[in-house]
């Protein structure tokens, strides 16, 4: 399997934050001369925006031509890039024999949070869907609250109770931990699907939330074990709806409908993560006396080379999307992604992933969870709205 040399894409790494930092001047922007009344602003904005957008699209077209005619052929010839065209007959066969017969499933999750002075709560829900209606839903409600006062109270007890309802309480369920829970459960319910079921996942195969270790929670080892189980299973593909790999998406500009490129190995991705991670060398009892670095490196050495990262484009009018799959099932995984993406036309994104998202967010609306919690607090406090956010009392 040939993958693109990371150094070969060094010129395709535009960081929008750095661009703004180097080209925009704060003092010149806040100058009153740069700010106009709405009437004057809308006289010039549409024409200026159209001119800029036309220039961007024209420039992208030139980049696309140069990539296809010069850059890609050179990398293919040098053995640094794999550039392939999907087989339409194989796509049609997968749709008929696997996709529409329910042998492909997707999962997605949603999180709803609730915070008051004395309680932090969250509801995590996961939905798994297929085209044969074999859906599954899983939901959990996690709540933490401040310290209760003992019967014989002293000043120290009151201070401790107040502290437990302050910053200490808000940190009880960190966002990183919650999203690690959600991404873990998404993958777990997919692995619980019947044998020979192909699994579609929205997002990277290596979510930051699952790799972070989540501080004192020590979740790195169980998360890596689950990702390893997914790689061992092999019947999966992940697709990233909003990738931060802008260099890969820039390369994706050159792809025609049904084309894909293999860009990096999982080992490359994990090495880059390790360079930025704040892993320690401290032995951790929960990890069998191994450190975070040891646990991560063992996983990387065992699984990294088995995974590839690439970019595909399903439709001539769609955006390119980053994907991950096992190296030895690349052909199958890409064609299943393209087979399902054909169901969304110019959007070019797998429909099952959309359905899982809509099914989950529709069945477990964040507003319904919030309204239920507000109602319970109002009932328990005699109708008071003191536990509600100011914004919710406007509705």
How far apart CA 53 and CA 90 sit, in angstroms, is: 38
Give a three-class secondary structure readout of the chain. CCCCCHHHHCCCCCCHHHHHHHHCCHHHHCCHHHCCCHHHHHHHHHHHHHHHHHHHHHHHHHHHHHHHHHHHHHHHHCCCCEEEECCHHHHHHHHHHHHCCCCEEEEEEEEEEEECCCEEEEEEEEEEECCCCCCEEEEEEEEEECCCCCCCCCHHHHHHHHHHCCHHHHCCCCHHHHHHHHHHHHHHHHHCCCCCCEEEEECCCCCHHHHCCCHHHCCHHHHHHHHHHHHHHCCEEEEECCCCCHHHHHHHCCCCCCEEEEEEEHHHHHHHHHHHCCCCCCCEHHHCCECHHHHHHHHHHHHHHHEEEEEEECCCCCCCEEEEEEHHHHHHHHHHHHHHHHHHHHHCCCHHHHHHHHHHHHHCCHHHHHHHHHHHHHHHCCCCCCCCCCCHHHC
For 86-363, CATH gives 3.30.2170
Mean pLDDT of the 13-39 span = 71
Is residue 5 predicted with pLDDT exceeding 70? no
Residue 10's pLDDT is what?
42
Is residue 141 predicted with pLDDT exceeding 90? no
Bridge partner list, 272: none
Contact present, 85 and 259 (Cβ < 8 Å)? yes
Place of tokens 């661009």: 19
How far apart CA 310 and CA 370 sit, in angstroms, is: 39
Contact present, 125 and 361 (Cβ < 8 Å)? no
- Angle at which helix 292-303 crosses helix 266-276, to 10 degrees, equals 170
∠ Cα 122 126 128 (to 5°): 175
How far apart CA 131 and CA 343 sit, in angstroms, is: 12
Q: How many CB atoms lie within 10 A of CB 275?
A: 7
Is residue 17 predicted with pLDDT exceeding 50? no
pLDDT in tens, 244-265: 888 899 999 999 999 999 999 9
pLDDT in tens, 80-110: 889 999 999 999 999 999 999 999 999 999 9
Q: Residue 30 phi/psi, 5° resolution?
A: -80, -5
> What is the percentage of the chain residues whose pLDDT exceeds 90?
57
Residue 271's pLDDT is what?
96
Is residue 117 predicted with pLDDT exceeding 80? no
How far apart CA 78 and CA 187 sit, in angstroms, is: 37
pLDDT in tens, 179-234: 999 999 999 999 999 888 999 999 999 999 999 876 667 889 999 999 999 999 99
For the chain, what are the domain ranges?
86-363
Q: Is 21 exposed, middle or buried (0-12, 13-18, 19+ CB in 10 A)?
A: exposed
Which pTM value belongs to this model? 0.85
């Amino acid at each position: 399997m040939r993958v693109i040399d990371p150094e070969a894409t060094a010129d395709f790494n535009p960081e929008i934050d750095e661009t703004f930092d180097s080209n925009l001047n704060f003092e010149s922007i806040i100058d009153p001369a740069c700010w106009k009344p709405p009437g004057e602003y809308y006289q010039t904005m549409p024409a200026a925006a159209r001119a800029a957008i036309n220039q961007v699209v024209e420039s992208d077209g030139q980049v696309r031509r140069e990539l296809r005619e010069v850059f890609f052929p050179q990398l293919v010839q040098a053995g640094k890039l794999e550039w392939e065209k999907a087989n339409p007959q194989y796509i049609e066969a997968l749709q008929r024999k696997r996709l529409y017969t329910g042998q492909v499933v997707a999962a997605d999750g949603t999180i709803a949070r609730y915070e008051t002075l004395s309680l932090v709560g969250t509801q995590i829900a996961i939905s798994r869907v297929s085209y044969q209606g074999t859906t599954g839903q899983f939901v959990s409600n996690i709540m933490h609250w401040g310290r209760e006062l003992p019967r014989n109270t002293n000043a120290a007890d009151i201070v401790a109770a107040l502290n437990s309802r302050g910053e200490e309480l808000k940190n009880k369920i960190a966002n990183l931990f919650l999203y690690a829970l959600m991404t873990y459960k998404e993958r777990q319910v997919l692995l619980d699907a019947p044998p020979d079921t192909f699994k579609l996942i929205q997002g990277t195969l290596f979510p930051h939330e699952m790799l972070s270790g989540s501080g004192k929670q020590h979740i790195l080892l169980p998360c890596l074990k689950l990702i390893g189980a997914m790689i061992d299973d092999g019947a999966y593909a992940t697709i990233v709806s909003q990738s931060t790999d802008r260099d890969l998406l820039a390369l994706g500009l050159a792809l025609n409908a049904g084309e894909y490129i293999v860009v990096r190995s999982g080992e490359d991705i994990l090495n880059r993560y390790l360079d930025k991670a704040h892993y320690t060398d401290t032995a951790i009892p929960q990890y069998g006396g191994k450190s975070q670095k040891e646990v991560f490196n063992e996983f990387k050495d065992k699984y990294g080379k088995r995974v590839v990262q690439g970019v595909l484009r399903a439709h001539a009018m769609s955006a390119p999307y980053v994907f991950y799959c096992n190296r030895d099932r690349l052909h199958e995984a890409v064609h299943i992604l393209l087979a399902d993406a054909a169901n969304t036309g110019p959007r070019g994104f797998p429909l099952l992933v959309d359905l899982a998202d809509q099914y989950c967010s529709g069945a477990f609306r964040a507003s319904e969870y919030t309204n239920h919690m507000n109602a319970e607090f109002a009932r328990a406090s005699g109708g008071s709205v003191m536990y509600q956010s100011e914004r919710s009392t406007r509705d």
